[in-house]
Structure 1
Amino acid sequence: MQSSRSSAIVSFVPLICLFATAALGVRVQAQTGSADPPAPVVPGYEHLRLAGAASDAELGELLLGELNCLSCHEPTPALARRIPVRAAPDLDRIAERATGRWLADYLMAPHVQKPGSAMPEVLHSLEPDDREDAVRTLVGYLAHRGANADPDESSSDEVALGDFPVHRFQASVERGRRLFHAVGCVACHAPEGAEGTGIPSVPLPDLDAKTSVTALVEFLLDPRAARPGGRMPPLHLEREEAEAITVYLLRGQTPLVTERRSGFEFEYYLDPEQDEDVPGFFNRPAPDLDALRPAGVGRIATLSLALPLPMNSGNHAFRFSGLLRLPAAGAYTFTLASDRRSGSSLRIGDGIVATKPPFSRRETEVSAELEAGDHPVEVTYFIRGSTGQPFVDARLDGAALPEPTPLHKVASHESVRLRPADGPAAPNRRYEENGSMLFARYGCSACHTSPGVDPERGRSYAVSRARAPDLEALDPEKALAEPAMHGGETSPRYRLATHQKQAIRAALAALADPPPKRRPEDEITFTMASFNCFACHQRRIGEVDVGGPDPVRARHFRVVDDQDLGDEGRLPPPLHGVGGKLKPGALRSILTGERLHVRRDFMEVRMPGFPAGAAERLADALDSVDALPGDLDEPPVSATATEHGLELIGTGGMGCVTCHDIHVHPAPGISTIDLATAYDRLRPGWVERLLRDPAAIRPGTRMPAYWPEGEANFPDLGGGTTGGQIEALWSFLSLGASMPAPEGMDIGSELVLVPDQRPLVFRTHMIDVGPRAIAIGYPENVHAAFDANTVRLAKVWRGAFFDAKGTWQGRAGQFFGPYGTDVLNLPAGPAFADLDDIDSPWPATGRYDRNVGGRFLGYRLDDLGRPSIRYRLGDVVIEEAPLPLPGAGGANLIRRFRLAAGTAPRPLFLLLAEGEEIVPGPERTWSVDGTLEVSLFSEEDFTPIVRDSQGVRQLLQRIELEPHRSLELDVTLSW
């Protein structure tokens, strides 16, 4: 290792990597390492360096950006565009995220507190006493900058995040450990107990000392709020998942027992599968309560199934947990009892279990030798269906309890809170002026924004009270030498490895005459390295495959439910040629994490979401490098080809549905990528190449070749040729979420309604529609729901139609939503309204309102079975027919209106759409919030207007009818 002086680097400002907790009391403690600390870890740099896939100059450019050298050494505009820097963490609320002691220790010696950190030493030139004074001032100043509430004390919601009962604490640790190693954290950070990872791990600080449960949970849910650079991306965690990972990461904090009460804590669960017609329903194994979210939690004094909350009469489960305090050591016998139809269990500690299966004798016993003191205890109860006299009971006797004693008599429960050992740094106004000065003097403000401190002032103070040289002015040979550079009083000091210095020198030398812009293939490499895409994905650079998880990390990548999908199903896919595989819009969506990430359903690791700007640059470069001419050209789509494609995909053809889901319908075998997403995601040319030779596109794939040597089976389909059958498959895939279920596909319950040959009209209860919903299903797999109470079209959707279980099964009365996806919720108000003027508010609808959009008159069917819904508004009778509009990408919907006036009609207004943003397009077409396109067709010369009303933008058309005249118009909804 080099000495600390010989490992200093170009003037650089602090990248204080702070991402969690409540800042606690300051006690400055100088720290130094007996051995040289590791160099800054930049994982993308290491992937390229170890693979030999980049020159020293290219590696050095990456370090100049990732170590943020350009924040002090100002680049030319061309260089600034060429080398984007990593944005430093936002310090405005750092006192709510880091304890005062940790923050002080970190400023004293960042490389000790967080080995491998990109944060340089900025106070290295000060004497110990002066350094302590400076740190105290800076910490006080940072505490004063933002709010300083203790996250564990500030609100009841935050207290709940830090509160974990003892019996659930260990369960939360284990769940968090599994999630940390499964969802993708270990792609960058070290797995627990790992040795010999091929790429250095992104370091974690001493989280136990640094942060609180509340702050770390919030950070995991939205990392970019604190670290806008995007190198720590969001993993799309649910709050419960973030909470479990936080408990695991902070498990070393000393639990604080806040109280002890007699009785139990309870959790109440609803059975997720309540279909009593399923074979073996009543005798299925007990539900995995750790995998379910409780419908209610609380505390109760006894083992009682009458909980203080709303409950089902059956199809539910209970868990009671606490601590069993035994007065003496000895042999104990536990008796568990519950009603005959139920199942129940009793667990003492980690291994003593009594279990009563459903439909068995009411009591079961277990005996064990136990020590005196506290033992975790857990009682569960579940029942399929219902029973007339539900009960559960547990008793014990033995040792100091000669008589059978109810379990609740010796049971209690504790609540604990995890919190760091030190308190928050107290804000102090006397630090404000001096702290602001030091914040600029030592270069902090060049990277981290600060109220009242100009970033230019940070650059000016950064090197020996003189402005840091511009990037182009740096001498490659002298830039990293001391004491000429980075040996001054206010210069940051790095501890670079020899190869890092060599790379930076090469980059500085090459920048003397830089090309104006990177080649697209180099832009791909630079961006993937900056955001460490190589942690999960491989991509071929020249003749070298770079990236992918090393063997130590790879073993943590798993398939959901342990399906046998091999490495192809558990590891993130290689990105060779990915720009020629995915459509441009799909690629951008996947990179930002919005949608179309199809592996999320069977792969436990998650695709993070990256900043839109970086995703846009990467997507453009991938398209430029990988796409082949004609790949986006659509083959012809026809009804005949679509029918042939439907046959080919089913089990009577090529059997694609054996492995592939179709929309909401799972494959009967191993479940993999949903074919309903293929049209939105994939380029037609890439699909053809894949189908012709799967192994050439994806070596090692389990997908078979269906046309060996170009010979086609099924001579009656697709013209009996390979090309014709591939076009037929694409024609079917173009239906998207509207594709029907092929032969051999499991459509689920017998109560799932399928409009096969003719439309279906089904009156039912429906979520977000109401108790008088009219659900309309079409064979084209686009559907609608009309609310006959308020008289409005409420929803349209694609895919599967409706599950009638809520209407027909058991007691019925359950509200279900659409069975498909791609659901479009229409405005909450009616389609038509009689307004006094254009500025009048649109009628609102409430839960119990009736006839807001007119008086409902029923519906009638045409010869094809398609309904027209009729209603009267004033002296106008309106017929509205929701009709399918088939097309590539999935069917859309036409709202066909016919208005018939009586003797004295008043002008009406038609609400075409509403949203946050309405942008006009060609030929009476408007884009709504970038997700919906609305088009108006009529023989009348209509000119709709856009207005701001009731907190949204609304697209309105005024309609005047002469007495006894009629008018027709179509409104097309494309989404």
Structure 2
Amino acid sequence: MVNSLSAAPKSAPFVSGFDRFGRHAELTPEISGSLLVSELSCDACHPGDRPDLQAKRGPILEGIGNRLQRKWVQQFISSPQSMKPGTTMPDVLHGLSKEKTQSAIKALTAFLMSQQQPFPTIKATGANPVPYEFWNKGNISRGRDLYHKIGCVACHEPDPDYEPGETKISPNDKLLAQLDPEEIKELGLAAQVRPVNSVPHPDLAAKYTPQALTFFLLNPEQTRSAGRMPQLKLAAVEAADIAAYLLRNQKSVPATADNRDAAALIIAGRKLFIEFKCVNCHRVDDLRPMFSAQPMVQLKANAAASCYHNPKAAMPAYPLDEQQQAAITAVLAEVSQDPRPSREALLAIHLLQFNCYACHERDKRGGVGFNRKPYFETVGHVDLGDEGRIPPTLTGIGFKLQKDWLSKVLQGKGDIRPHMQARMPLFPSRQIAVLPNQFENVDRKVERSEEEVFPEHEQLAPAGRIMLETGCIQCHPIRGESMPGVVGTDLGEVTERVHPQWFHDFLLDPASLKPRTRMPTFFPDGKSQNKAVLKGDVEQQIASIWAYLKAGDKQPLPAKILAEKAKNYELVPDKKPIILRTFMDEAGTHAIAVGFPQKVHIAFDAEQVRPALAWKGRFLDAQGTWFIRFAPPADPLGKSVVQFPAGPPVALLKQKQQAWPISKPGESTLEFRGYRVDKQGVPTFLYRDQGIDIEDRLEATQQQTLKRRLTIKPGANASAATQLWFRGLAGKTLKAVNPTTMQNETGLRVTVPEAFAKAAQVRTHDQITDWIIPLPLTGNTTIEVTYQW
């Protein structure tokens, strides 16, 4: 999806909030100007004490010498805007002669590249494995998926060739898509459909090495302390994957440059770094600013020369466009009167600075851009509407969320939407510590205590347990337990999350606080539909639900959940196959179990991308998968369990005697791409190996054998000279039953068509004997395989 909007000149600094709202008169001039003043770091030189004008400042440059590539640093100093369009870095060399400019660039580069600092050590944990030199093992395909799913594209440009998953469009968006531009304008909906411009990337391949970009993604705060680029809670291998995707056009990994320069040149660069006031914005080498310009309140909006209008040689030069100049002129005229921004304006400015509006809507401003919504998906494409895939509104959030919980969310400890692919970013705590108080001060118009909202509610908890069964548990888990198929936010900690008054008002009339919510009202016209509980008293019924949820595990789970848990959850395929994602010992934590009515079943390992198990008889018990946290892996209930060969089913081998590859996450070239289900309910697993697409369909037969159909589809770049092999069977010993059938010591027999069998090879490597079959890459090829045991 290509962004078609380009209102700002390419040379102008790009500030997201100004570009999206200020350019369209959707911010007051004062807010627009304050945002620009802070993002351009004006008060780094022009001191002031207004919180809305505090300077963002530039990156920390300690360690820049081994983070960035020398050539890029040199070119960026020479021409910041051409090396990073939209940068807020001014031109500080514009007043020098050509000879002095080149001399200054050389000295400044020498000084900066002398700033060496080792990369931090990342400690491995169970949830965050750290392979040796993980930054060199990134997977481009996985990184591409992560970049487009976890929220990066809320701010940055999506890949026009990336196809997001199938997402149901909300009725409101369907309507907007059908309106013509004039109708949209007349209805006042232009802001909702206007494409959102992207925060530009520099030439990342020229700027970073894989190691440097990986460590930056893991912890942007280390160099960008202002928090405009947040963490996305990446594991080490995830950061390496995204870095590999972003550097996919890097022709070769840059060698570590010899950054040793003459000491005199470094000293000269250090002196210039102070002289050009770079130190006012950047932290490096314990240097401190030696210069302050006129205080902000003394600046004249109509001055003949300024940093953004006819700058003199000693001034930094900001290439602002007319709209940006007008906004700063307006705020400078206001600052001279020294008013203080309102609480509402100050909160809005902070949200604009951190670009919260890229994901969240507040008071009809912002939210995920119309052109970005398709990239926001639920896990497994579960249809929960926009509430399940789009980050929640911030309208009235200080009225809704308790301050302590809001702080937890901002600290990255309050995730309650595991069904959402997008991740809540993590910002530097010192930068966003003021937000919970600001939200509460702006949004909590009337403050009522829990006792005032729900007087004497504790004794009502048993009734609340009954009330939850009237609709709540059909959509929400309770303390990690739920009805089958339920995906939603867990209500177990809701009394720690939300204010009692909001809870009361929301249950009474959900749509009044959350327009277009899927949450139904159980009290239409303020009347209860359940007269049997607490005599139908609405206030007491709402209070009872609060009381039950607050009691936590002191109260038993709702009866319906307990009844479901007590049932026999053995899955019995009847007319169609059953597909269950689960954990299994031999198929791993990404197992996809398929049960067939013919009483032959398989388990596919989606992490190692291979069929792992097959068995006969009974299928699986789903109780552990559905209900039990930290349940042991599911075991086949049937008998005659056989294992398929370890490692990938197909492989490109340079030599026929080469060892068969081992499937390891992050090291295998196989990429799992999901599965599709046909009308008979049979899945076809899809994967890719170095540009070769493979479709793998397994189904049971009436004779209780497995019929497998592998279809190979070489891509345009696949070389006909490269040999792809299918591993038909492996074992300690193999025996030819007939010209087309091979059997191993476990009794598993594999049969292939005669033409393929004639070309097959038997070989032994590391005490394992393989029956491998060559597959041509000159066109699409299908091989049918039969398994019996």
SS in 2 for 1:676: coil
Question: 1:479: how far off?
Answer: 5.9
SS in 2 for 1:745: helix
The answer to whether 1:560 aligns with 2:379 is yes
1:436 paired residue number: 270
Q: Matches of 1:252 and 1:659 in 2, distance apart?
A: 45
Moved more, 688-697 or 738-747: 738-747
1:232 paired residue number: 229
Contact 2:476-2:482 at 8 Å conserved across structures: yes
Aligned residues: 533
Q: Matches of 1:150 and 1:539 in 2, distance apart?
A: 38
Q: How does 1:477-492 map to 2 (within 5 A)?
A: 477-478=302-303, 486-488=311-313, 490-492=314-316
Contact 1:719-1:725 at 8 Å conserved across structures: no
Select the structure that is richer in strand: 1
Do the aligned partners of residues 803 and 603 (structure 1) sit closer, same or farther apart at CA in structure 2, a change above 3 Å counting?
A: closer
| Matching residue within 147, 154, 158 for 2:117 | 147
SS in 1 for 2:371: helix
RMSD of the TM alignment (CA)?
A: 3.2
Moved more, 707-716 or 552-561: 707-716
Select the structure that is richer in helix: 2
Letter matched to residue 388 of structure 2: G
1:136 paired residue number: 106
1:5 paired residue number: none
The answer to whether 1:118 aligns with 2:88 is yes
- The structure with the largest alpha-carbon Rg is 1
Contact 1:173-1:251 at 8 Å conserved across structures: yes
Q: Matches of 1:734 and 1:506 in 2, distance apart?
A: 51
Q: Matches of 2:350 and 2:308 in 1, distance apart?
A: 34
Q: Matches of 1:483 and 1:506 in 2, distance apart?
A: 14
The answer to whether 1:572 aligns with 2:391 is yes
Contact 2:135-2:214 at 8 Å conserved across structures: no
| Matching residue within 148, 173, 187 for 1:181 | 148
| Matching residue within 545, 548, 552 for 1:729 | 545
2:70 paired residue number: 100
Contact 2:108-2:273 at 8 Å conserved across structures: yes
The answer to whether 1:661 aligns with 2:631 is no
Do the aligned partners of residues 539 and 194 (structure 1) sit closer, same or farther apart at CA in structure 2, a change above 3 Å counting?
A: farther
Q: Matches of 2:227 and 2:503 in 1, distance apart?
A: 32
1:453 paired residue number: 287
The answer to whether 1:538 aligns with 2:361 is yes
| Matching residue within 18, 43, 60 for 1:70 | 43
Do the aligned partners of residues 158 and 424 (structure 1) sit closer, same or farther apart at CA in structure 2, a change above 3 Å counting?
A: farther
Letter matched to residue 542 of structure 2: I
Question: 1:613: how far off?
Answer: 3.6
Q: How does 1:79-478 map to 2 (within 5 A)?
A: 79=50, 81-147=51-117, 160-164=133-137, 172-193=139-160, 198-255=195-252, 419-420=253-254, 423=257, 425-451=259-285, 453-455=287-289, 457-459=290-292, 468-478=293-303
| Matching residue within 437, 440, 445 for 1:623 | 440
Contact 1:480-1:501 at 8 Å conserved across structures: no
Q: Matches of 1:808 and 1:180 in 2, distance apart?
A: 35
Q: Matches of 1:510 and 1:500 in 2, distance apart?
A: 16
Question: 1:55: how far off?
Answer: 2.0
Do the aligned partners of residues 587 and 426 (structure 1) sit closer, same or farther apart at CA in structure 2, a change above 3 Å counting?
A: same
Q: Matches of 1:737 and 1:480 in 2, distance apart?
A: 68
SS in 1 for 2:493: helix
Question: 1:751: how far off?
Answer: 12
The answer to whether 1:502 aligns with 2:326 is yes
Question: 1:698: how far off?
Answer: 1.2
Question: 1:428: how far off?
Answer: 4.1
Do the aligned partners of residues 748 and 450 (structure 1) sit closer, same or farther apart at CA in structure 2, a change above 3 Å counting?
A: farther
Quote the sequence identity (%): 32
In the alignment, structure 1 segments of 5+ residues that lack a partner are 1-34, 256-418, 460-467, 753-799, 811-975
Deviations 1:9-65 (A, max 9, x none): xxxxxxxxxxxxxxxxxxxxxxxxxx9733111112223314533222221111111
Contact 2:33-2:331 at 8 Å conserved across structures: yes
Letter matched to residue 507 of structure 1: V
Letter matched to residue 684 of structure 1: P
Letter matched to residue 728 of structure 1: S
Do the aligned partners of residues 672 and 482 (structure 1) sit closer, same or farther apart at CA in structure 2, a change above 3 Å counting?
A: closer
Contact 2:308-2:319 at 8 Å conserved across structures: no
Q: Matches of 1:806 and 1:604 in 2, distance apart?
A: 25
Q: Matches of 1:144 and 1:539 in 2, distance apart?
A: 45
Contact 1:660-1:666 at 8 Å conserved across structures: yes
Q: How does 1:575-974 map to 2 (within 5 A)?
A: 575-593=394-412, 595-599=413-417, 601-634=418-451, 635-636=454-455, 640-650=459-469, 654-736=470-552, 740-745=556-561
Deviations 1:251-306 (A, max 9, x none): 11125xxxxxxxxxxxxxxxxxxxxxxxxxxxxxxxxxxxxxxxxxxxxxxxxxxx
2:613 paired residue number: none
Deviations 1:313-338 (A, max 9, x none): xxxxxxxxxxxxxxxxxxxxxxxxxx
Contact 1:580-1:631 at 8 Å conserved across structures: no
Q: Matches of 1:206 and 1:685 in 2, distance apart?
A: 50
Q: Matches of 2:567 and 2:30 in 1, distance apart?
A: 65
Letter matched to residue 118 of structure 1: T
Q: Matches of 2:457 and 2:360 in 1, distance apart?
A: 38
SS in 2 for 1:439: helix
> TM-score with structure 2 length normalisation?
0.63
Question: 1:497: how far off?
Answer: 1.2
Q: Matches of 1:157 and 1:602 in 2, distance apart?
A: 26
Question: 1:200: how far off?
Answer: 2.6
Question: 1:639: how far off?
Answer: 5.9
Contact 1:636-1:731 at 8 Å conserved across structures: no
Letter matched to residue 597 of structure 1: D
The answer to whether 1:37 aligns with 2:4 is no
Contact 1:568-1:701 at 8 Å conserved across structures: yes
Contact 1:194-1:552 at 8 Å conserved across structures: no
Contact 2:389-2:420 at 8 Å conserved across structures: yes
Contact 1:718-1:728 at 8 Å conserved across structures: no
